[in-house]
Amino acid sequence: MLQVNNIRENKQDFINALKKRNFEAESILEEVLQLDEKRRATQVKLDDILAESNRLSKEIGMMFKNGEHQKANLIKEKTGNLKEDSKALSEELSETVAKLETLLYTIPNVPHESVPAGTSEDDNEEIFKEGDVPVLAEGSLPHWELAKKYDIIDFELGNKVTGAGFPVYKGKGARLQRALITYFLDKAIDAGYTEYQLPLMINEASGLGTGQLPDKEGQMYHITADDLYMIPTAEVPITNMYRDRLLTDKDFPIACTGYTPCFRREAGSYGAHVRGLNRLHQFDKVELVRIEKPENSYAALDNMVEHIKDILADLKLPYRILRLCGGDLGFTSALTYDFEVFSTAQDRWLEISSVSNFETFQANRLKLRYKNKEGKKELVHTLNGSALALPRVLAGILENYQTEDGIKVPDVLVPYTGFDLID
């Protein structure tokens, strides 16, 4: 959520920056400022009335003490009117604050200056590419056919038990999945991240805190009886551990990691591009979350990018990094880098990670601040990245490592799997 004081001071800059997202902000920002003016004016009136009421109450007490009962009773009538006025102003203030907050929730984050303008993923900028695309033998298969051939993932059984998008991993497929999770966690821990095991459900406040609500409500599984949501990513419970916190210098750096299943409805997803592991309703992911002082956040973002590059180098998977354009940038992000692995059998790039700096956007919703060296309270910057989302990594491994004899296991994973070939 944008800060109203920043909107007031930088209104035209915000209007221009949000155009990168193809978001026309002028009228809505003007409405925000008008509501904030009303809020501030109402607050001043309310404070004045409350101060007057308190002053008169003290006078009444002294009058009764001095035996001036008639005079005291006359003033009591005035305080009664003031109470009615204060009640009306309190209600007006609450209504104005609610309208202002609701409006602010509809405004996306301001893109970083390096974000390119654009309308769709076609306008994203490729900034890095590494790894040679393997040349597969004739008759090589896409991962969903390999999964069936080697009996390691059963999509039909998952459909029977739950529905489409909920695969069942079997045998060496389940062990390879578990190996990837453990390897990703070990890499994160070695890099200084603290591991957490997290709830898989969140309350509404947590969804609002990191910006999934109300923006992505339709993509989340909602348990109506308990008003809880299944998590779309571990970013949400990890970051919300710090909601309503005031941090100090000694709390930094804050680097957290966690493995969770993730749940996304992905309403309207269909077609060949969602086949197999390409897009699921339940999938496993290891997440990185960092909370930084503003002056350190972009160095931390670069560090997270290098961390994921190191993982992909270990796995020897061909990949590229994209800087997302304004039209493809997530609602809460100021700057996002997407990692994509090349799926050789499908002859296409598959997104496997997004690494984002949200700057103060989430922290403002979370009321997550720290005391700087001058003792002033300041919003922190929050960051997160997938390291990594498993389904498409697994798809890339199955397709790129297939041979006539079976599917080789990347060398770095063999100590975790206990086998080097799926046959």
- Tens of pLDDT, residues 299-352: 999 999 999 999 999 999 999 999 999 999 999 999 999 999 999 888 899 999
Q: What is the CATH number of the domain that holds 180?
A: 3.30.930.10
Candidate from 199-203, 305-309, 373-377, 398-402 with smallest mean pLDDT? 373-377
- Please tell me whether 354 is known to bind a ligand: yes
Taking each helix axis from N to C end, the angle separating 390-400 and 171-190, rounded to the nearest 10 degrees, works out to: 120
Is the pTM higher than 0.95? no
Q: Are residues 189 and 67 in the same domain?
A: no
Q: Give per-residue pLDDT as tens, 23-49.
A: 999 999 999 999 999 999 999 999 998
On whether 233 is known to bind a ligand per the annotation, the reply is yes
Domain boundary among 105, 129, 156: 105
Residue 92 among known ligand-binding residues: no
Domain end, chosen from 70, 105, 140, is at 105
Residues 58 and 127 in one domain: no
CATH number of the domain to which 26 belongs: 1.10.287.40
- The verdict on whether residue 264 carries a ligand-binding annotation is yes
Q: Please report whether residue 247 resides in a domain.
A: yes
The phi and psi torsions of 247 (rounded to 5 degrees) equal -95, 165
Please check if 400 is assigned to a binding site. Answer: no
The reply, when asked if residue 266 is annotated as ligand binding, is: yes
Strand partners, 350: 341
Question: Which pLDDT band, with edges at 50, 70 and 90, does 270 fall under?
Answer: low
Same domain assignment for residues 414 and 339: yes
Does residue 287 have a known ligand-binding role? yes
Burial of 203 (0-12, 13-18, 19+ CB in 10 A): middle
SS3 142: coil
pLDDT value for 108: 96
Are residue 127 and residue 94 in the same domain, yes or no? no
Q: Could you give the number of structural domains in the chain?
A: 2
Structural domain for 70, as ranges: 4-105
265 a known binding residue? yes
CA distances to 2, 12, 363, 367, 421 from 36, rounded to whole Å, are 13, 17, 20, 18, 63
